Amino acid sequence: MGKTIAEKILADRSGLDSVVPGQIVIVPVDIAMANELSAALSIKELDSWGVDKLYDPEKICLIPDHFTPSKDINAAGISKKIREFAKKHNVRWYFEVGRAGIEHAVLPLEGVILPGQIMIGGDSHTCTAGAINCFATGVGSTDIAAAWATGEAWLKVPRSVRLNYSGKLNPHVYGKDLILYTLKDLTTSGATYMSLEYHGDVFESLPMADRFTMANMAIEAGGKTGIFDFDEKTKKLVESTPRFKNEKPSYKTYAADEDAEYAIMREYDVSKIEPQIAKPFSPDNVCPVSEINKVKIDQVVIGACTNGWLEDLVRAAEVFKGRKIHPDVKAIVIPGSQIIARQAFDLGLPQIFIDAGCVFSTSTCGPCIGGHMGVLGEGEVCVSTTNRNFKGRMGHLTSEVYLANPAVAAASAVMGRIGSPEEL
């Protein structure tokens, strides 16, 4: 019987000929990543164990991005602790505010994580990196601490889901719409502890940004990870990163066997998909945007780790150009990283956003987690390109969040209600 991508990576990295779903394996960790919140708990664990020496500082990544730039004194104290820990242990991949961005964009764009590797992260959306053909998954802070101390982690080999997308995309339909449509089908628990494999010729016409978006939201189906095949687009991105230019590190790629066994298989004809939107209060509460009956909105958030890639910002800018956002709406645009922000400036995108009446923010997770820089008040309604819309996710318990792609979010900001770019 053939093997899936996840099974091949875990077998190879654990030194076994093959593995089967449900099997527990011990694997060397190539990168153990944490943000300031998860890292603080991991450091506390290390202290309680009396561990004062890290297994390999070259394989640790620390990125303050959730409550940073520091929103208050407590957040500043946490970030200070992480900074001091990184300096003490000579952690290679420590990224200070202003030099990186949001962890899930930073790691693949800087070349911290490479194809075929194993990454664990103290954040559920660590699976984003699976877009470059690696096994990346979120774990708890105790597991992060253990990896820092031993260089290893235990994983249960997941069952796999094969998702195949074919056909011609309709206007203003992107990776975000494909994954929302998929979530409606699978539901938020339909792929629990599974590896979502994304396949299909549709990805030949979509940039890497859309793969990152879809891998990012594998966790919204309950997935352990989300993984794409390696192709020329992947190679171009990986080999253009700062790390690759300086070091030219080696890496290995993996592809599923034709006779691999999957727990779930789905075929999607994308020509039947129009722009989608997830209604409160779940990412799988999805319908076409055309079925939403002119819901008035108060805020729009475009960007963050799910849709803060350059192509996403371009899509939003194309809608905003020459237009103004509705006077009753505030709009916040967040590039996923400093690399993306610089690219956006080169294209003149911030000028378009500011002229339209938007805030062009530093890279931060702030509003997505209801932390800062865009928290929703009582009864406020938001259209967001982020990944979750659970009750109270972005602020007050009575606020509501609708998830959409950047073009739909931008069009909604202009109209003051949920709507499609086709209406402008």
Task: Tell me which DSSP letter residue 299 carries.
Answer: E
| DSSP helix/strand/coil, 280 | coil
Which pairs with CB-CB distance under 8 Å and at least 24 residues apart come from 249-253? Answer: 249/111, 249/114, 251/114, 251/115, 251/116, 251/117, 252/12, 252/115, 252/116, 253/115, 253/116, 253/133
The pLDDT of residue 293: 87
Distance linking the first and last C-alpha atoms of the chain: 52
Contact 309, 176 (CB under 8 A): no
State the SS3 of 301-333: EEEHHHHCCHHHHHHHHHHHCCCCCCCCCEEEE
360-414 pLDDT, tens digit per residue, is 999 999 999 999 999 999 999 999 999 999 999 999 999 999 999 999 999 999 9
- Is the pLDDT confidence value at 136 over 90? yes
Q: How many CA atoms lie within 13 A of 363 on its CB side?
A: 31
Q: How many residues can be counted in the chain? A: 424
Which secondary structure element, helix H or strand E, spans residue 303, and what is its range? Answer: strand 299-303
Q: Which residues of 280-316 are buried (b: 16+ CB within 10 A; e: fewer)?
A: bebbbbbeebeebeeeebbbbbbbbbbbbbbbbbbbb
| DSSP helix/strand/coil, 312 | helix
Kindly calculate the radius of gyration of the chain based on its CA atoms and give it in whole angstroms. 20
Pull the structure tokens for residue 377: 């008040």
Cβ partners under 8 Å of residue 326, min gap 6: 413, 414, 415, 416
- Is the pLDDT confidence value at 73 over 90? yes
Mean per-residue pLDDT for 57-63? 98
Task: Tell me which DSSP letter residue 206 carries.
Answer: S
- Is the pLDDT confidence value at 246 over 90? no
- Cα(338)–Cα(344) distance, rounded to whole angstroms? 10
The pLDDT of residue 1: 82
Contact 129, 119 (CB under 8 A): yes
11-59 pLDDT, tens digit per residue, is 999 999 999 999 999 999 999 999 999 999 999 999 999 999 999 999 9
pLDDT, the chain, mean:
97
β pairing state of 264-269 and 152-156 = unpaired
Task: Show the CA angle centred on residue 78, arms to residues 75 and 84, nearest 5°.
Answer: 140
149-163 pLDDT, tens digit per residue, is 999 999 999 999 999
Pull the structure tokens for residue 128: 């984003």
Cβ partners under 8 Å of residue 126, min gap 6: 33, 103, 104, 119, 120, 136, 137, 138, 139
Q: Is 363 left (phi over 0), alpha (psi -120 to 50) or beta?
A: beta
- Cα(349)–Cα(303) distance, rounded to whole angstroms? 13
Q: How many CA atoms lie within 13 A of 9 on its CB side?
A: 36
186-228 pLDDT, tens digit per residue, is 999 999 999 999 999 999 999 999 999 999 999 999 999 999 9
Phi, psi of 116 (to 5 degrees): 80, -5
Q: Which amino acid is at 359?
A: V
Which domains are delineated in the chain?
Answer: 5-266 (3.30.499.10), 276-419 (3.30.499.10)
